[in-house]
Amino acid sequence: MNKGLYIILAILLLILIFLKSDFSASILNKDSQTFLQNQDSSAINLETKDCYIKTELLTVHGNSLDPLIKPEQTIKALFGYYDCYEIKRGDIVLFNYAGNKNPVIKIVKGISGDKFELRKTDSGWNIIVNNQIVKNSEDKPYLISGNAYKMLSLYQRDYKGIIPENAYLLLGNRVSGSVDSTTFGLVDKSGIIAKVEI
Protein backbone atom coordinates (compact mmCIF):
# COMPACT_ATOMS: atom_id res chain seq x y z
CA MET A 1 0.00 0.00 0.00
CA ASN A 2 1.12 3.50 -0.61
CA LYS A 3 1.65 6.25 1.95
CA GLY A 4 -1.39 8.27 0.76
CA LEU A 5 -3.77 5.38 1.44
CA TYR A 6 -2.40 5.00 5.01
CA ILE A 7 -2.99 8.71 5.65
CA ILE A 8 -6.58 8.50 4.34
CA LEU A 9 -7.31 5.44 6.51
CA ALA A 10 -5.81 7.17 9.58
CA ILE A 11 -7.96 10.26 8.99
CA LEU A 12 -11.10 8.12 8.56
CA LEU A 13 -10.30 6.27 11.78
CA LEU A 14 -9.91 9.56 13.69
CA ILE A 15 -13.24 10.81 12.31
CA LEU A 16 -14.98 7.58 13.38
CA ILE A 17 -13.51 7.83 16.90
CA PHE A 18 -14.62 11.46 17.17
CA LEU A 19 -18.15 10.71 15.95
CA LYS A 20 -18.51 7.74 18.31
CA SER A 21 -17.46 9.75 21.39
CA ASP A 22 -19.74 12.65 20.40
CA PHE A 23 -22.68 10.23 19.90
CA SER A 24 -22.07 8.60 23.31
CA ALA A 25 -21.97 12.00 24.99
CA SER A 26 -25.26 13.03 23.39
CA ILE A 27 -26.98 9.80 24.57
CA LEU A 28 -25.68 10.31 28.11
CA ASN A 29 -26.80 13.93 28.10
CA LYS A 30 -30.29 12.94 26.95
CA ASP A 31 -30.57 10.25 29.68
CA SER A 32 -29.33 12.73 32.28
CA GLN A 33 -31.99 15.25 31.32
CA THR A 34 -34.74 12.62 31.39
CA PHE A 35 -33.57 11.40 34.77
CA LEU A 36 -33.37 14.88 36.29
CA GLN A 37 -36.95 15.63 35.22
CA ASN A 38 -38.14 12.61 37.22
CA GLN A 39 -35.70 12.44 40.15
CA ASP A 40 -34.04 14.53 42.81
CA SER A 41 -30.48 15.79 42.47
CA SER A 42 -29.03 13.39 45.09
CA ALA A 43 -28.78 10.55 42.56
CA ILE A 44 -25.50 9.03 41.44
CA ASN A 45 -23.82 9.90 38.17
CA LEU A 46 -25.55 8.23 35.22
CA GLU A 47 -22.17 7.56 33.57
CA THR A 48 -21.69 4.61 35.96
CA LYS A 49 -25.02 2.84 35.47
CA ASP A 50 -27.50 2.09 32.70
CA CYS A 51 -30.73 3.44 34.19
CA TYR A 52 -34.20 3.34 32.75
CA ILE A 53 -36.83 4.74 35.11
CA LYS A 54 -40.48 4.61 34.13
CA THR A 55 -42.80 6.98 35.99
CA GLU A 56 -46.47 6.17 36.52
CA LEU A 57 -49.22 7.95 38.43
CA LEU A 58 -51.16 5.41 40.50
CA THR A 59 -54.12 5.54 42.87
CA VAL A 60 -53.69 4.04 46.33
CA HIS A 61 -56.40 1.66 47.50
CA GLY A 62 -56.53 0.77 51.19
CA ASN A 63 -55.57 2.70 54.28
CA SER A 64 -52.50 1.01 55.76
CA LEU A 65 -50.43 4.20 55.27
CA ASP A 66 -53.14 6.62 56.41
CA PRO A 67 -52.68 9.50 57.31
CA LEU A 68 -49.32 9.66 55.49
CA ILE A 69 -51.00 8.49 52.29
CA LYS A 70 -54.78 8.59 52.17
CA PRO A 71 -57.04 6.10 50.37
CA GLU A 72 -57.60 7.14 46.74
CA GLN A 73 -54.59 9.48 46.85
CA THR A 74 -52.48 9.64 43.68
CA ILE A 75 -48.81 8.77 44.02
CA LYS A 76 -45.91 8.77 41.58
CA ALA A 77 -44.22 5.37 41.18
CA LEU A 78 -40.68 5.24 39.81
CA PHE A 79 -40.30 1.76 38.31
CA GLY A 80 -36.69 0.69 37.77
CA TYR A 81 -35.33 3.22 40.28
CA TYR A 82 -33.77 0.56 42.47
CA ASP A 83 -31.95 -1.03 39.56
CA CYS A 84 -29.48 1.83 39.96
CA TYR A 85 -29.96 3.30 43.43
CA GLU A 86 -29.84 1.95 46.96
CA ILE A 87 -32.99 1.35 48.95
CA LYS A 88 -32.87 3.70 51.93
CA ARG A 89 -34.52 3.62 55.31
CA GLY A 90 -37.60 5.83 55.12
CA ASP A 91 -38.24 5.23 51.41
CA ILE A 92 -41.83 4.52 50.46
CA VAL A 93 -41.90 1.58 48.05
CA LEU A 94 -44.13 -0.71 46.02
CA PHE A 95 -43.67 -4.40 46.78
CA ASN A 96 -44.94 -7.43 44.85
CA TYR A 97 -46.67 -9.53 47.50
CA ALA A 98 -47.77 -12.99 46.39
CA GLY A 99 -51.02 -12.68 48.34
CA ASN A 100 -52.16 -9.61 46.35
CA LYS A 101 -52.73 -9.17 42.62
CA ASN A 102 -51.63 -5.53 42.96
CA PRO A 103 -48.38 -4.42 44.62
CA VAL A 104 -48.58 -3.16 48.19
CA ILE A 105 -47.22 0.22 49.28
CA LYS A 106 -45.06 0.28 52.41
CA ILE A 107 -42.32 2.22 54.21
CA VAL A 108 -38.77 0.86 54.49
CA LYS A 109 -38.03 0.75 58.23
CA GLY A 110 -34.96 -1.50 58.19
CA ILE A 111 -32.27 -2.14 55.58
CA SER A 112 -29.56 -4.75 55.05
CA GLY A 113 -27.03 -4.73 57.87
CA ASP A 114 -29.28 -3.03 60.43
CA LYS A 115 -29.45 -4.46 63.94
CA PHE A 116 -32.96 -5.77 64.50
CA GLU A 117 -34.78 -7.02 67.59
CA LEU A 118 -38.15 -7.25 69.30
CA ARG A 119 -38.35 -5.84 72.83
CA LYS A 120 -41.07 -6.96 75.25
CA THR A 121 -43.30 -4.39 76.95
CA ASP A 122 -46.35 -4.79 79.21
CA SER A 123 -48.70 -4.86 76.22
CA GLY A 124 -46.68 -6.48 73.39
CA TRP A 125 -43.36 -6.12 71.60
CA ASN A 126 -41.72 -3.02 70.15
CA ILE A 127 -39.73 -3.33 66.94
CA ILE A 128 -36.18 -2.08 67.50
CA VAL A 129 -33.81 -1.15 64.65
CA ASN A 130 -30.27 -0.01 65.46
CA ASN A 131 -31.23 0.32 69.16
CA GLN A 132 -34.08 2.73 68.34
CA ILE A 133 -37.80 2.01 68.75
CA VAL A 134 -39.34 2.07 65.26
CA LYS A 135 -42.19 4.59 64.94
CA ASN A 136 -44.78 5.40 62.31
CA SER A 137 -45.34 8.76 60.57
CA GLU A 138 -47.28 10.01 63.61
CA ASP A 139 -44.31 9.24 65.90
CA LYS A 140 -46.14 6.32 67.55
CA PRO A 141 -44.10 3.19 68.28
CA TYR A 142 -45.02 -0.06 66.57
CA LEU A 143 -46.41 -2.50 69.14
CA ILE A 144 -47.02 -6.01 67.86
CA SER A 145 -48.29 -9.27 69.33
CA GLY A 146 -49.59 -12.70 68.30
CA ASN A 147 -48.78 -13.81 64.75
CA ALA A 148 -46.94 -10.57 63.95
CA TYR A 149 -44.56 -11.24 66.83
CA LYS A 150 -44.14 -14.89 65.80
CA MET A 151 -43.31 -13.93 62.22
CA LEU A 152 -40.66 -11.31 63.04
CA SER A 153 -39.17 -13.30 65.94
CA LEU A 154 -38.24 -16.06 63.46
CA TYR A 155 -36.11 -13.58 61.51
CA GLN A 156 -34.57 -12.20 64.68
CA ARG A 157 -33.57 -15.72 65.74
CA ASP A 158 -32.48 -17.06 62.34
CA TYR A 159 -30.36 -14.04 61.41
CA LYS A 160 -29.02 -13.37 64.92
CA GLY A 161 -30.50 -9.89 65.06
CA ILE A 162 -29.02 -8.56 61.79
CA ILE A 163 -31.10 -7.88 58.68
CA PRO A 164 -29.35 -9.96 55.98
CA GLU A 165 -28.01 -8.77 52.64
CA ASN A 166 -30.71 -7.72 50.15
CA ALA A 167 -33.45 -8.00 52.81
CA TYR A 168 -35.66 -5.20 54.11
CA LEU A 169 -38.19 -4.54 56.87
CA LEU A 170 -41.31 -2.98 55.29
CA LEU A 171 -44.09 -1.62 57.47
CA GLY A 172 -47.38 0.17 57.00
CA ASN A 173 -48.46 3.03 59.22
CA ARG A 174 -50.60 0.98 61.60
CA VAL A 175 -48.61 0.42 64.78
CA SER A 176 -50.12 -3.04 65.32
CA GLY A 177 -49.06 -4.13 61.81
CA SER A 178 -50.88 -4.58 58.51
CA VAL A 179 -50.13 -6.55 55.34
CA ASP A 180 -46.43 -5.81 55.78
CA SER A 181 -43.35 -7.48 57.28
CA THR A 182 -45.42 -8.38 60.35
CA THR A 183 -47.41 -10.63 57.97
CA PHE A 184 -44.90 -11.73 55.31
CA GLY A 185 -41.56 -11.19 57.07
CA LEU A 186 -38.45 -9.48 55.75
CA VAL A 187 -38.54 -9.03 51.98
CA ASP A 188 -35.96 -9.57 49.28
CA LYS A 189 -34.86 -6.64 47.14
CA SER A 190 -36.15 -8.44 44.02
CA GLY A 191 -39.74 -7.95 45.23
CA ILE A 192 -39.39 -4.16 45.61
CA ILE A 193 -40.44 -2.84 42.22
CA ALA A 194 -40.70 0.96 42.56
CA LYS A 195 -39.86 3.98 44.67
CA VAL A 196 -42.89 6.10 45.55
CA GLU A 197 -43.08 9.88 45.68
CA ILE A 198 -46.05 11.65 47.26
Contacts of 103 (CB under 8 A, 6+ apart): 94, 95, 96, 97, 193, 194
- pLDDT recorded at residue 158: 95
Nearest to 75 by CA among 36, 46, 102: 102
Tens of pLDDT, residues 154-179: 999 999 999 999 999 999 999 999 99
Domain ranges of the chain: 3-43, 54-197
Tens of pLDDT, residues 66-101: 999 999 999 999 999 999 999 999 999 999 988 788
- pLDDT recorded at residue 9: 62
d(CA 135, CA 19): 55
Tens of pLDDT, residues 117-165: 999 999 999 999 999 999 999 999 999 999 999 999 999 999 999 999 9
Q: Is 180 exposed, middle or buried (0-12, 13-18, 19+ CB in 10 A)?
A: buried
Tens of pLDDT, residues 24-57: 332 222 222 222 223 333 333 333 357 899 999 9
Q: Is 182 exposed, middle or buried (0-12, 13-18, 19+ CB in 10 A)?
A: buried
Contact 103, 194 (CB under 8 A): yes
- We find that the CATH architecture of domain 54-197 is Ribbon (2.10)
pTM of the predicted protein model: 0.74
- pLDDT recorded at residue 186: 97
Whether 19 shows a pLDDT value over 60: the answer reads no
- pLDDT recorded at residue 97: 87
